[in-house]
Each structure stands twice: as structure tokens, then as C-alpha cells.
Structure 1
Amino acid sequence: MNTILVTKAQSRNFWSKGAKTPILLSIFFLLFSIITFSQEKPKDSTKVNALDEVLVSAIRINSKTPISFSNLDKKEIAFRNLGQDIPILMNYLPSVVTTTDAGNGVGYTGIRVRGSDATRVNVTINGIPYNDSESQGTFWVNMPDFASSTESLQLQRGVGTSTNGAGAFGASLNVLTDSYAKEGSGEISNSFGSFNTRKHTVKFSTGLINDKFEIAGRLSNIASDGFINRASSDLKSYFLQGTYVGETTLIKALAFGGIQQTYQAWYGLEDAEKLRNDRTFNVAGMYFDDQGNMKFYDNETDNYQQDHYQLHWNERWNENWSTNLAFHYTKGKGYFEQYKEDEDFADYGLNPISLGGETIDVTDLIRRRWLDNDFYGTTFSLNYKKEKVDFILGGGANKYEGAHFGEIIWAEYASQSEIRDRYYDDFSNKTDVNVFAKLNYDLTTKWRLFGDIQYRNVGFKANGQDTGIVNDTFNFINPKAGITFTLNQKNNFYFSYAKAQREPNRNDYENGNPRPEKLDDLELGWRYAKENVKLNVNSYLMLYKDQLVLTGQLNDVGAPIRTNVGESYRFGLEVDLSLQLSERWNIRPNFTLSENKNLDFVNDATLENLGKTTIAFSPSIIGGNILAFKPIQNVQIAWLSKFVGEQYLNNIDSKESKLPNYFVNDFNITYELNSNSIFKSIIFTGLVNNFLDKKYVSNGADYGGGFIYYYPQAGINFLAGLTLKF
């Protein structure tokens, strides 16, 4: 057994040294607030509703900022919120590609933006980091039906503006949870569909009691058999929020989380023959009995619970100054269970045994691989606005502690093992401290300057069988700058430069001595807006040094394997249009054209320098469109289309390892019936996914030597829902 590398005393020393500045600033804000809280507040007419947005204002942007972004609000989410995960609901945003292991948008889902996978998309919830500290991935399956508690979200493409958590190398996504309600309300929502998919949601709000306090909450249950065999999901979640509203004060306490059990489907479909003839085959849990019969273990499942706690204090001191101070804690614990054949005793610390004169040193067994982790810290922001100046000082200090251990719960031959023995017992420790300052300054009525600089300190220590002993510290300084020119009320143009740097993740350390990545991102864009037309045109050049690109392979827990490449780039054009054709018709097309290349790429298998090759999982064409029609009041019909160009599963331009392009169409209809009886409104929702029954693959894995795995997605399938509001 490995010993624990990081002692509690060492951890405390590292934490106190790295986090000193943000913690002192947080304490200063707290003391300043306590001292002045009882003083007379400014008597302005500002509504505290605006303070809700302070939770994310330090990291969000608007059309005057020289950065490419898209917003998705509660109303837009509600049209298709029938149980599928947040990445699937974002599928029609520019430069976005989504995939799902189970094939129908429930369970494990993933997102890529500009070809960058989920480990490179920074995600925050109310300004607090959500990406897993070690893998840097985002697991929405741990927060099922979170869309039902989302007020709005903003996707910033490229490096974006400085935020908390891991550096954004493809995009950053910040989510704002439900605002408070002035009046009491209730909501019951149920939906059913293909593959025995169902969602049940109950929400409530007390409204503002004495114009000061509100309590709101949600309970949800989502279940599905999945399109892929045995790729079932049983997902439960909750959301509870208490709010205090003062004249210039907003205090929120939140508790939310979920518990999930999903049958594993992360390996994909194992060969092209099965892709043609048995698209739903799932290799997970497969084994052979003593007679050579193929069987499947019935509990090859992932089991995990994650609980989040947040406390936010927003204060508007006067018409110029506002602050936000937040504290958070996340507890996660769970395991995935596997049936394994012919495992070597030595890999589990077991001794060979003698049985009937025969030495036995292999066994079939069932194992559980556990994670038990804690994540906690603080974030803060100070905002000053006056005439030409908008200044933000923000940051955070966060710590992660993770235990990794494995147990054998059954073995054909148990050797000397005892119940609850751990065949490995590892620990990891990560600290993340950042401080940033942002300035928007109006030089004239037409010219606006943007400046942003961030300092980030990261410490990572681990002692794992997979990682080896790790003790790394990183110091990153990430400057950003840009300028916006407003030609008139309809047109503005912008240019920006941003630098980003980020540390390797835990899986990268499994494969050697990874280097941190560096990115220089240049953006040039034009925004046109009038009453019925909104057009965004953005070009980007992203220059990488030591980019950790996906190799196409997965490790033994289904996580993507990455490797450093020397120099690489992404060069593209994004166009996003919203056109109100009439009172009844609206069309919103978007497309991205891009070139994504490695320079002087060396094939690890042959050590051959292949020169310029295409970066894996980076389609050169991505397109989407929403055509919406309102034939009568309270009815909306939408036709949603998505095109994703062909993409390689590796970095060597192998034709055998290329996913073909696909064009998928969905049909969505909603009808809201207003009522004066018990219910304020009754909403009927219908969704036909892939109504042209396209057989397509959205993801894959390439292990070399022709061993290619595919992730087929469902053909035509249905979801229908009924929501009662009262």
C-alpha cells in the first residue's frame, strides 16, 4: 500500500501561504460590511433584483466587451427542458458539439467548444468553480435536472474574461441559479418518452415574506433505460435556497446536489461491424462463464453523491460601489463497480494460493473504486462604476482534498484478503488561488478600452499508483486587453488579445511528466443590432504552446488520455444571426468554419514527424439553426437543426479513424394554457429528437492498430411533458 504523501500540517502550510491574499481580502470585506451594515443605506430607487446578477457580474460580459459570447435564459431553457442534461440544451449555440454515452441525452453527457473538450471548458455556478479539481472535467450527471434551477447561463468562447477555477482553453460557462420570487408559487412537472425516460420535478417558492425573506426549493427524479443496452440512469436531485432581500442587500444560502446511479457505457461500441448491425451493444459488464457463454454483470454501475453548499452576500453600498462575498463547500463520495476476469493476484496485493496441488495466482473478482473528496473556499468581487469607468477586483481561494481507494467485494479466489481491505489507498491535495482586476474605460462615446489581468497560483500533490508521486506548483499571470469601437447605435467592432495558462490534470500525470499549457487568443469581431436583427461575426486565432491534445484513447475509467504537442493553433470564423421575420416567424442560424492544426506532430507509435496534422475531435464545420413559428398566442413550434463536419479521432490524419459528418433535426412544440382556476397556467411540451432518424456517431475512441470504438446516438425518439403552475 502506498503511504499518504501530504500530511495535514504540510497541507495547512501550503494552504496558508498560497491563499493569504484572497483570504485577507475576504476578511476585509466581511469586517467592512459588519461595521457599515447598520449605517444608513443610500436612498436610491435601484431594485435589488439587479443584485442577483452580482453573483456572476464579476465574470460575465456584455456587448460592449470585446469577447465572443452567447446567453441562454430561463425561458429558452424551459422550451426543451424534459430531462436531458445542460450540455444537450446548449447544443444549438455556436461552435458547440455535444455527445452522450447512453445515446439519448440522459446520464453522462459531454460538450466541446471550438474543438476543445469539457476538461478545457471552465464552468462556474454563481461564480464558484464547478469543474472537478483533479480531472478538470464537468460531470452534469451529478446534478441532474439542474436546468430547472437555472436562471440564465453565459458561454464565453475562447479564453474569455478572467474567472475562478481552471483556465479556459476553449470556453467558459457561467451559470446563475434561480432568482428570488416576490410572490409565492408552485410547480409540478412530469415528462415521459422513449427508452422509458421520465422526469418528475416539484418546485415551490414562498415568495417574499414581509418583503424580506424567501424560501424556494426543488426535488427531481430522472430515470431512463438509455438508447444503448443497459445504459440506464437513476438520478435524484434537490435544490434549496433561502434569500434575504434588503434595500441594497441580497443574502443567499443555497444547498443543492444529487445522487446518481448509471450503468456504465463509457467504453463505446467496439467495432464497425457492430456499428452497422447492433448499434445498441454495450461492452461494459461483459464476461464469459466457464462454458464460454457471454454474460453481462448486472451491476456494472457508477454510484456517486455530490452535495453543494453556498453562501452569498451581495451589497450595494451606493450608486458606485458594490461587493460580493461567497463561501462554499462541496462534498462528493461514490464508487463505480466492475466485474473483472482473470485478474493477477499481484495487482491486488494478494498472495498465490495452492489448491489441489495447483498454484493459483489469478481470479475473477468484483471491485469498487472509490472517490471521497472535499472542495471548499471563498470567492469575492468588488465593483466600482462611475460614468466612464467600470472596475472589478475579484478572485478566490479554494482547496480540494481527494481520497482514492479500491475494495474487492467478491472474488472467486480470495487468498488472504479480508472484508473492507483496500488494494490501493491514495490521496491528492490541490489548492487554487487567483486574483484578477478588470477595467472597462470609455475613452470617448465611441471608443472603449478593456483591460484584465489575473494571477493564479496552483499547487497539486498526489501519491497514486496511476500518477506516481506528484508535487507541483504553478504560477500563472494571464493578461487580457481589447478595444471596442461603436460606430453608431447599430454597429460596433472589437479586437482583443488574451493569454491563458493551465496546469495538467491528474490523468495527464499517468502518462509521464506533462507540461503546463499556454494559449494566446486573438479575437476580431463585428456586432450589428437593431429591432428585428442581431448579427455577430467573430474571427479567432488561438495559438497554443504545449497544448494537451486528446490522443483518441481512453484510460481504464473512460477518461480521455491527452499528450503535450509542441505548437498548434485554431483559426476560425463564427457567425451568429437572430432575425425576426415577422411577429410569428424567427430564425436563428449560426455556423463556425475553422482550421485546427498541430505543427510538426510526432507519431508516438512510429516516432515519425508527420508535420502539419489535424487536431483530434475538431470538426472544421459546425452549424446550427432554430426556426421558430408562433401560429397563435401561447403556442410555439420550433425546428432545430445541427450539422457537425467530419472529425478525426486521432492526430495522425488516419482515414480509418474519421467520424463522418452528421446533420440532425429536432422538432419542438409548446402550448401554454392560462387558467383562472387552481392553476395559473398549464404547459404542454413535446420534443421529437432526430425526427429524420439519422444514424450517426457523435464521439469515438482510437487505441491504434485499428481498435476503434464508437458512440452511436439514438435515432428518432420522443419526449412529452406537462407542467402545472400555481
Structure 2
Amino acid sequence: MIYARMFLALVMVASACPDLYAANLLVGRVVDDHQQPISHVTVQSSRVERTVQTDETGAFRVIRTAVEPVAITFSHAGYIPRTIRVDAAADTIAVVLTEQIYPMEGITVTAGRAVEKQTPVPFATIDRAEIQRQYDFGEIPALLETTPNLYAYSDAGGGAGYSYLKIRGFDGRRVPVYINGIPLNDPEDHALYFVDLPDFAETVDNIQVQRGVGNSLYGDAAFGGAVNMLTSPLAQTRRFSAEFGYGGFLQGDSTVGLMRKTSVGFATGLLDNGWSLSGRWVDQYSGGYREESWYDGTAYYLSVGRMDPKMITAFNAYTGPMRTHAAWDG
């Protein structure tokens, strides 16, 4: 009789276990502000059997240690942790986590330009006002010939045609030249050519010449120094220009190496939608100071840009088709 009562008690306890398990089971789902499921969210509390994580659908299930109100914390990298108090009678919950932005220290991106009293390298900066004062015809080396430690020359003896520069005795193969951070030197042999950049100084905002070995940004070929050119920024005002020039070299009572230049430029300024468009066309000719060293070239420049509240996007296109005599061959 005693064994029969014990067996009946065990049966009653066993039949009560599923009901007890169901009462302590808590299931739910975690989503973000856009109702997208978040996986691998940590679900933990001192009143649950063990810490669990959500699956790929954001679902989870935990077993409470007692049928009573319990506080459960949900945490995930990139989201603000959230603690929810769950009633004893609740068996399902829905949780929404908000994305968290972690503040960081400011990041400053700088180009390879020297700063006065900060960069340990001798340099010279030619701003736009100085370029307008010195430049009228020719190529970049002729514009920079007054820079200390820089020597410029050309095959034709004038400002146009094949021209070159040296810094501290090193030729163009050891002097990297950049336009808006883009290398101008030939990638194969590091040779430097300005002949297909006629009248480029008209589209340059400033030029910096660094003398000697300096910033490692320029690579191991920068023994003599480096030249960094920045083109003009987006045009803020509307303008139109047309120019014509004519001249030459005086030799006694005669004129040799006749030169002429014609240019037309425009800029729309900053339009209402944030766009800006500017362009320039140039045709120039030089007879050269030496005999049979003439140069005849045309240049096209087009700049399209857009100014947004936190970003400026610009596209610059430049080409300079030309014909020259064989002055470079003697």
C-alpha cells in the first residue's frame, strides 16, 4: 500500500513538471529601429538559468529560476544596452535596440605640404597673387626659375616647348611633381614632361617647392625635392574672360622667337543647386629663341564640381595637344 502511494506521488510530480517548465519559459525577439532582426544579442539576468544569445532571426528563449518579475538586460556591440522588467505572467516579449554612435577623437587628414615653423624642410610657396604677377606665357619650370636652389631651362630657349627643372642639382627623375596629390612623373622611368601642359599655370591656385629630402610621402626618389601644385578651387562667382597676347625676344634691332597667345575662359559660379562649372581654352605659339625650335599647342581645361554641406566633389579634365620642332634632338 505504501509503494502504491509513492508511485502515485511520483506520477503527480512528473505530470506537473511540463506546466512548471511552461510557466518559467520566456521567449522573445530583438529588432532594431527599422524592425530588422539583430543576431548575437546577449540576454542575461540573475534570475535566468544561463546567459543566451539571439539567433539569426533575433529570437531567444530563457528559463526563469522563479515565477516572479525579473529584470533582463539586452546588449550588443553598436547598440545601446537595454534592461527590461518582465512580469511574472508574461511569456513573450519584443525588444527594440537603438544604434549607438561611439564618439572618437577628431581625425585630421593632411596632404604633403610643408607648414611654416612646423615642417623641418626648406620650402617656398608661390600663391595665386604671385603667379598672376609673374606668369604670362610658358610652362611651369619657367615660372619657378626664381625659386632658391631651382634651375629651369628649355630646349627652345624660350618659355614653351620641352622644358625641365632641377633642384639642388637633381633632375626631374629625382624630383616628384604632384597635381592635386596625383604624380605627374612617368611611372616607368620617373621622367618629367611639362610640354603637354601648356598654360597650366592659369589653372593653378598655388605651388609649393620643397628643397632636399623631406616628407616620406614623396617616396624614395625625392632626393632633390618635390613640387606640389594645387589647382584652383570651385569658382564662387560668375565670370568670362578673353585674352590675346603677342611678343618675342629682342636681338639688336630685330625680334626673334615670336610668341602669341589667345585664351577664352568662363565660370558659372556656384549655382542654386550647388553645382559649379568652369572651363578654359588656350591656343599659343612660340617660334623659339633657337632656330627651328618652334612650338604650336592648344590646351583645354574643364572643371565640374558640387558643393554639399559637408563635402566638395570636383572633377578636373585637362589636355594639351601640341606640335614641336626637334629642338630636343640638337
Q: Same fold (TM over 0.5)?
A: yes
Hey, which of these two has a bigger chunk of helix by percent? 2
Give 2:111's aligned residue.
58
Q: Aligned partners of 2:329, 2:220: CA distance in 1, in Å? A: 27
Aligned residue number for residue 519 of structure 1:
none
Q: Distance in 2 between matches of 1:189 and 1:112?
A: 32
1:206 and 1:165, CA in 2 relative to 1: closer, same or farther beyond 3 A? farther
- The answer to whether structure 1 residue 193 and structure 2 residue 219 are counterparts is no
C-alpha contact (below 8 Å) 2:139/2:197 kept by paired residues: no
* SS of residue matched to 1:265: helix
CA shift, 1:65, in A, is 1.2
RMSD of aligned alpha carbons: 1.9
Which residue number in structure 1 is paired with residue 177 of structure 2? 123
Taking the aligned partners of 1:132 and 1:182, their CA distance within structure 2 comes to 34
Does the CA contact (< 8 Å) of 1:122 and 1:166 recur in 2? Answer: no
Q: How does 1:332-347 map to 2 (within 5 A)?
A: none
2:275 aligned residue: 213
Q: What is the Cα deviation at residue 134 of structure 1?
A: 2.0
Aligned counterpart in structure 2 of residue 242 of structure 1, from 304, 307, 314: 304
Counterpart in the other structure of 1:183: 237
**Do the aligned partners of residues 173 and 81 (structure 1) sit closer, same or farther apart at CA in structure 2, a change above 3 Å counting?**
same
Give unpaired runs (5+ residues) of structure 2: 1-107, 249-256
Q: TM-score, normalised by structure 2?
A: 0.62
CA distance 1:211–1:60, change in 2 (3 Å):
farther
Structure 2 residue identity aligned to 1:77: I
Q: Show structure 1 runs of 4+ deviating over 4 A.
A: none
- Partner SS state of residue 142, structure 1: coil
Q: What percentage of residue pairs aligned between the two structures are identical?
A: 35
3-state SS, counterpart of residue 182 of structure 1: coil
Distance between the aligned counterparts of 1:112 and 1:261, measured in 2? 25
Q: In the aligned structure 1, how far is the partner of 2:269 from the partner of 2:219?
A: 33
State the Cα deviation string for residues 662-707 of structure 1 (Å, max 9, x = none).
Answer: xxxxxxxxxxxxxxxxxxxxxxxxxxxxxxxxxxxxxxxxxxxxxx
- The structure having more radius of gyration, on CA atoms, is 2
CA deviation vs aligned residue, 1:154-194 (integer Å, no higher than 9, x gap)? 11111221335672110111110111121111122222111
**Secondary structure of the corresponding residue to residue 207 of structure 1:** coil
Q: What are the equivalent positions in structure 2 for 1:237-316 lying under 5 Å apart?
A: 237-268=299-330
Partner AA of 1:212 in structure 2: G
Which residue of structure 2 aligns with residue 398 of structure 1? none
Give runs of aligned pairs for residues 47-86 of structure 1, distance below 5 A. 57-63=110-116, 64-86=118-140
- In 2, the alpha carbon distance for the partners of 1:255 and 1:166 equals 29
Q: Are residues 163 and 190 of structure 1, via their aligned partners in 2, closer, same or farther at CA, if it must alter by over 3 Å?
A: farther
1:172 paired residue number: 226
Displacement of 1:77 = 1.0
**Correspondence 1:228 to 2:290:** yes
Residue 26 of structure 2 corresponds to none
Given the superposition, is the C-alpha separation of residues 165 and 243 from structure 1 closer, same or farther in structure 2, using an over 3 Å criterion? farther
TM-score (structure 1 length as normaliser): 0.29
- The answer to whether the 8 Å contact 1:127/1:164 transfers is no
CA–CA distance in 2 between the matches of 1:79 and 1:136? 31
User: Paired residue for 2:210?
Assistant: 156
Q: How many correspondences in the alignment?
A: 215
Secondary structure of the corresponding residue to residue 143 of structure 1: coil
Higher normalized strand content (fraction of residues): 1
Cα separation, partners in 2 of 1:163 and 1:222, compared to 1, 3 Å = farther
In the aligned structure 1, how far is the partner of 2:329 from the partner of 2:195?
17
Q: Distance in 1 between matches of 2:220 and 2:203?
A: 24
Deviation readout 1:216-273 (Å, 9 max, x if unpaired) = 11111111111111101011111101111112201011111110110011234xxxxx
Aligned 8 A contact 1:220 1:236 in 2:
yes
Q: Whole-Å Cα distance in 1 between the matches of residues 273 and 130 of structure 2?
A: 29
CA distance in structure 1 between the aligned counterparts of 2:262 and 2:214, rounded to whole angstroms: 36
Q: Per the alignment, do residues 228 and 238 of structure 1 end up closer, same or farther by CA in structure 2, a change over 3 Å counting?
A: same
Q: Aligned pair in 2 of structure 1 residues 140, 228: CA closer, same or farther (>3 Å)?
A: same
Q: Which residue of 2 aligns with 1:422?
A: none
